Structure 1
């Protein structure tokens, strides 16, 4: 990725120079002045993302611990329909929310992230509703549709337990956001009732075509370690999809019938490589006559709400929580 330094308010990404904007909070300005993947990533060798699990899993756990300091919750390691999950409940949550549930799908490029609760804990803490974070199977060991099979199994289990679909939220970030949309299309195909609403965060409706911002930012060098094209054997999206039909609406919901898609919240940022994907899916949902809200945060990168110290992160989490509460009729 080359050198990385800041000088007079301009970050040098090793050939691409990018000003730090004054249109964001002071905390965000400081955040944007640091290396996007950590200083140790500057000269790290390029390896497939799924080979980094032993290094990133502890980082995800550290993020969980930070979140729990801010939003005190009880976390239970459990199995639902044979799928490993974490149940997250806010301490002293109101009894009235006991009939509601939110199913969370973690990020991690479809190949890492098991046990990551970086958005599940804040949403449980903000709303008081139980969040069940699903540790779906990961690629490349378990390519499509294994992850969706796991998610649908958990969703069916909640319906079998007596939860109404109108009392269930489905949401996720990055890979989890794509899986959210894909799961809805799978539920439609199986004739199951759809959740009351969805959160498709820093994601969109076609994981094989991320659009212009991905192409531009990859070319500009902003995503030197993760900007793999679908033809690259190290591309996590490609190993996840395997031989799946790229035109199947479950694989690419944007290509399917969205006329009954649940109300959907999309959140992204102007420095998110997946901005185009989110914008395209938002427009597709609106063309289909569906309720869809798109929030684009100035200068914020991929999944900026994990940086809890930022006012922009707290604002994003608040937007998510209030959207879910509204559709759960809390």
Structure 2
């Protein structure tokens, strides 16, 4: 069932527009109008493009010492440790602005040792409530721990949707490469089930590389024969680590994305090692999605991962999976990170999706 797809359709601007129209005609995809006043949106979009260019430069400058030290593993390890510590302590605020950390965020991740803790053996307390559970996997390019503000976003989303928040924890590449991170998450999920939590209570969600791991989780759950969660939500999903979509080229060269193909390729290489990026467990656009729970995909039309979002929606529909793709005309990657009316609209759509699914199960 997990055979690699024989081809990846060529994606040029006109091609993706046509395929998007087809998804809209089938009521699978929908363009969500901005909730921000036109003048305010123009100003916000301009600011976003400036921020994106700044982040691109900052990321390349951060990676350059690693490239320069490629022959010195100890120096690379030191640099990566510094990046992880800074991220876990929230010192890279430009990546996750606006939100404040909940009081207990520091209990979820230890900045001094974000890699070594073995989450696979984590205990899950007995006697959980019957509330729906949002099992959220923050993005980090597979190599960085979540920042406090990313964790806060998960708590805010869960509260908005009437769910209990659980942060999906996994070990980090390159020390723990593919497929270890996804297996850690499946083990955490399985522990929840063993404690008496119903799979119907659980909603998976993740952003960017976290969304990639959510899809890998679902493939592994199907392989192990474990019950599927009630649904899954993918924010700006990184669906193709081979980065064949046209949006990777076009948005990497513009101010519409805070990332470049070089930085994405760097993370993908550390995560995959010698594994081909077209392995369906690594890149879900090549996977057979039959048997997956209902999916909600949220993405920006100008996101570097937009073509992946379209491809995932098509793959899910072709596999008989209920799927809805909502997209915005915004230059912000994972716009839910920002305190805006558009982010609130996205949260509202997620809540409606979750509630509709839970009612269907009941």
TM-score, normalised via structure 1 length: 0.76
1:251 aligned residue: 282
| 1:239 shift after superposition | 1.1
Q: How far, CA to CA, are the matches of 1:124 and 1:23 in structure 2? A: 21
What is the CA distance between 1:299 and its match in structure 2?
Answer: 2.1
Match of 1:36 among 48, 51, 71: 51
Alpha-carbon separation, structure 1, partners of 2:235 and 2:205 = 8
**8 Å CA contact retained: 2:257, 2:302:** no
Identify the structure with the greater strand proportion. 1
Ranked by relative contact order (alpha carbons within 8 Å, sequence separation 6 or more), the top structure is 2
1:207 aligns with 2:241: yes
Aligned with 1:205: secondary structure?
Answer: coil
Cα offset, 1:122, TM superposition: 1.5
The equivalent of 1:141 in structure 2 is: 175
Equivalent in the alignment of 2:139: 107
Does structure 1 conserve the Cα–Cα contact (< 8 Å) formed by 2:87 and 2:146?
no
How far the C-alpha of 1:269 sits from its partner, in A, is 0.6
| Cα deviation, residue 206, structure 1 | 2.8
Aligned to 1:311: 341
5 Å-filtered alignment, 1:4-43, equals 25=37, 26-34=39-47, 35-37=50-52, 42=57
* Matched positions, count: 295
1:277 Cα deviation from its structure 2 partner: 0.4
Quote the offset at 1:37 in angstroms: 4.0
| Structure 2 CA distance for aligned equivalents of residues 221 and 41 of structure 1 | 9
- Please identify which structure carries the higher helix content: 2
Describe the SS at the equivalent of 2:151. Answer: coil
User: 1:204·1:279 contact (CA, 8 Å) conserved in 2?
Assistant: no
Match of 1:47 among 43, 62, 70: 62
> In 2 relative to 1, CA 147–84 (structure 1 residues): closer, same or farther, beyond 3 Å?
farther
1:291 aligns with 2:306: no
The verdict on how the C-alpha distance between 1:47 and 1:223 changes in structure 2, with shifts beyond 3 A counting, is farther
Aligned to 2:358: 328
Q: Secondary structure at the match of 1:261?
A: coil
Q: How does 1:56-75 map to 2 (within 5 A)?
A: 56-59=87-90, 67=99
SS of the equivalent of 2:310 reads helix
Q: After the TM superposition, which of the residue ranges 266-275 and 312-321 deviates more from structure 2? A: 312-321
> Contact conserved, 1:97 with 1:129, CA < 8 A, in 2?
no
Deviation of 1:33 (Å) = 2.1
Consecutive aligned runs of 4 or more in structure 1 exceeding 6 Å deviation: 60-65
Query: What pairs with 1:66-105 in structure 2 (closer than 5 Å)?
Result: 67=99, 77=107, 81-83=120-122, 98-105=130-137
Structure 1: distance between partners of 2:350 and 2:151: 15
Aligned to 1:196: 230
- Distance in 2, matches of 1:298 and 1:193, equals 36
TM-score of the superposition, structure 2-length normalised?
Answer: 0.70
Structure 2 contact 120–188 (Cα < 8 Å) conserved: yes
Instruction: Say which is worse superposed, 128-137 or 290-299, in terms of deviation.
Output: 128-137
Contact 1:114–1:135 under 8 Å retained in 2: no
Q: Is the 8 A contact 2:256 2:331 kept in 1?
A: no
1:234-278 deviation line (CA, Å, top 9, x unaligned): x11121111224443322333232221110000001221101000
Query: Does the 8 Å CA contact 2:221/2:228 hold for their aligned counterparts?
Result: yes
Matches within 5 A, 1:277-288: 277-288=308-319
Aligned to 1:18: none
Whether the 8 Å CA contact 1:184–1:194 is kept in 2: the answer is yes
**C-alpha distance in 1 between matches for 2:242 and 2:54:** 30
